[in-house]
């Protein structure tokens, strides 16, 4: 598993992001499960961030898409900090 994907999984399991996602999905746990399953599968299959975000926007909501984008952005920041720390 790629390090970036591990970070994303970790962030997705963060209670803060989970709460935001649930709120964006109108507190529908089934939709949250479908969303997470989609994101995990898409990452495993190496789909691009743009593709993933577009599908989330189409199948869930604009708000959900924004939250997932924030998650991707946070992952990039954390990975960059790790690289800087290692150097």
Q: Mention every residue, 6+ apart, whose C-beta is less than 8 A from residue 55.
A: 38, 42
CA neighbor of 73 nearest in space, from 53, 45, 44, 46: 53
- How confident is the model at residue 37, as a pLDDT? 94
Q: Is-contact 31 61, C-beta < 8 A?
A: no
Q: What is the pLDDT of residues 14-65, one digit of tens each?
A: 778 889 999 999 999 999 999 999 999 999 999 999 999 999 999 999 999 9
Q: Higher pLDDT residue, 56 or 71?
A: 56
Picking from 23, 17, 25, 33, the residue whose alpha carbon sits closest to that of residue 69 is 17
Domain ranges of the chain: 3-81
**Total-model pTM:** 0.75
* Beta carbons of 35 and 25 less than 8 angstroms apart: yes
């Amino acid at each position: 598993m790629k390090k970036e994907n591990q970070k994303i999984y970790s962030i997705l399991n963060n209670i803060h992001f989970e709460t935001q996602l649930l709120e964006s999905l109108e507190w529908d746990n089934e939709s949250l499960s479908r969303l997470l399953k989609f994101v995990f599968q898409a990452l495993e299959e190496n789909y691009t961030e743009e593709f993933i975000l577009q599908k989330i926007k189409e199948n869930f909501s604009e708000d959900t898409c924004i939250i997932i984008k924030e998650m991707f952005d946070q992952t990039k920041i954390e990975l960059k900090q790790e690289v800087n720390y290692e150097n």
